[in-house]
Amino acid sequence: MDQQTNKPLVEVRHLKEYFDVTTGLFRSKPLKAVDDVSFSIMRGETLGLVGESGCGKTTVGRTMLHLYKPTAGEILFDGKPVKTKQEIMEYRKHATMVFQDPYSSLNPRMTVSDIIGEPLDIHKAYASKEERSAKILELMEHVGLNSEHAARYAHEFSGGQRQRIGIARALAMNPDFIVCDEPVSALDVSIQAQVINMFYELQQKFGLTYLFIAHDLLVVRHISNRIAVMYLGKMVELADAAEIYEHPLHPYSKSLMSAVPVPDPKIARENKRIVLTGDIPSPLNAPSGCPFRTRCPYASEECACSMPEFKEVRKGHFVACHRLAEIN
């Protein structure tokens, strides 16, 4: 997973994604699912995106691929902005997604061959039926499926095999960038390792770049070069994977990392778990200032007044916290 170049493949600048939610008769309120998020992903890199359920991780991934129209901000691919319909269509030849649920993301009425071949059909990426069939069989081989599986339907497969079908579909147009939206969370633990290792092998083989969304911190650590932590639509910390595990700086990141299970019982006993009090606020009624302040043991008046700037505090280590100096 060496970074081939210092130039980012994908950049997200001040991305916002708000959804209007009806709160009464003729009244609505914006739900700020993603609120002013900026980051970049280098070519050949895996950026892990973690946080509690409902923090906006999946919305970031979907908005990056224009499955949701961004409320504000911009997405750049290979240095060029992606805005117009034509730019989005071209971008989707190079950027794709592996969905969380292998049961609902595959059409039950289509054969495996047609599911994997659908992107080829949409982009007219073959000259003959023979070329299409050969390409589909090659994609199936890359993800460990047999050629006799091609004529079968998705419901005939296990969860792990269905996710392989989804991954083969994502690889159909030979993309550069893949958003992996919790691709192993619906699978048995025994299958998770196989699928994670396959992602890694495919990355080495094709030079892929990943945004890897997950809530399992051990999975993220295994595959990621850098890790970003989100809370209630905001990004609160971003650093190298080893750095964020060993030296988290934000109070929320500290709590998350303290919850990661350690296989050594002696070390596990010595580790002090940081338990957060209070409930996660609703994104519909987010607190003023820093969104984490209602659960933060270090919160002050300043935290209620303004959102801390997401800034670089060490080389490559970004944090958004007013009281960083006092708590570290």
User: In one letter, which amino acid is 72?
Assistant: A
Buried-state track 264-295, b at ≥16 Cβ within 10 A, e below 16? eeeeeeeeeeeebeeebeebeebbebbbbbbb
The residue with greater pLDDT, 26 or 121, is 121
Q: What is the mean pLDDT of residues 302-307?
A: 90
Which percentage of the chain shows pLDDT scores above 90? 65
Q: What's the pLDDT at 261?
A: 72
The residue with greater pLDDT, 186 or 136, is 136
SS3 328: coil
Q: What is the mean pLDDT of residues 66-75?
A: 94
Enter the tokens of residue 323. Answer: 């009281």
- Give the DSSP letter of residue 78: T
Task: Determine the distance from the C-alpha atom of residue 9 to the mean position of all C-alpha atoms in its chain, rounded to a whole number.
Answer: 15
Q: What's the pLDDT at 1?
A: 44
Name the pLDDT band for 267 (thresholds 50, 70, 90). Answer: low
Q: What's the pLDDT at 219?
A: 86
Q: What's the pLDDT at 50?
A: 94
Residue with tokens 């932590």: 229
pLDDT over 70 (residue 282): yes
Q: Over the Cα atoms of the chain, what is R_g?
A: 21
Q: What is the mean pLDDT of residues 296-305?
A: 89
Predicted TM-score (pTM) of the model is: 0.91
Least confident of 24-38, 132-146, 275-289: 275-289
Enter the tokens of residue 5. Answer: 């170049």
Q: What's the pLDDT at 3?
A: 44
Task: Determine the distance from the C-alpha atom of residue 229 to the mean position of all C-alpha atoms in its chain, rounded to a whole number.
Answer: 11
Adjacent-strand bridge partners of 42: 8
For the stretch 118-174, pLDDT in tens is 999 998 889 999 999 999 999 999 999 999 999 999 999 988 999 999 999 999 999
SS3 113: helix
Q: What's the pLDDT at 57?
A: 94
Q: What's the pLDDT at 99?
A: 92
pLDDT over 70 (residue 2): no
pLDDT over 90 (residue 235): yes
Q: What's the pLDDT at 268?
A: 63
pLDDT over 90 (residue 22): no
Q: What is the mean pLDDT of residues 169-180?
A: 95
Q: What's the pLDDT at 4?
A: 47
Enter the tokens of residue 61. Answer: 């991934």
Name the pLDDT band for 53 (thresholds 50, 70, 90). Answer: confident
Which percentage of the chain shows pLDDT scores above 70? 96
Name the pLDDT band for 222 (thresholds 50, 70, 90). Answer: confident
Q: What's the pLDDT at 138?
A: 95
Tell me the C-alpha distance between 210 and 17, whole Å.
21
Q: What's the pLDDT at 280?
A: 78
Task: Evaluate whether 15 touches 60 at the Cβ level (below 8 Å).
Answer: yes
For the stretch 6-16, pLDDT in tens is 789 999 999 99
Q: Domains in the chain, ordered, with CATH?
A: 8-327 (3.40.50.300)
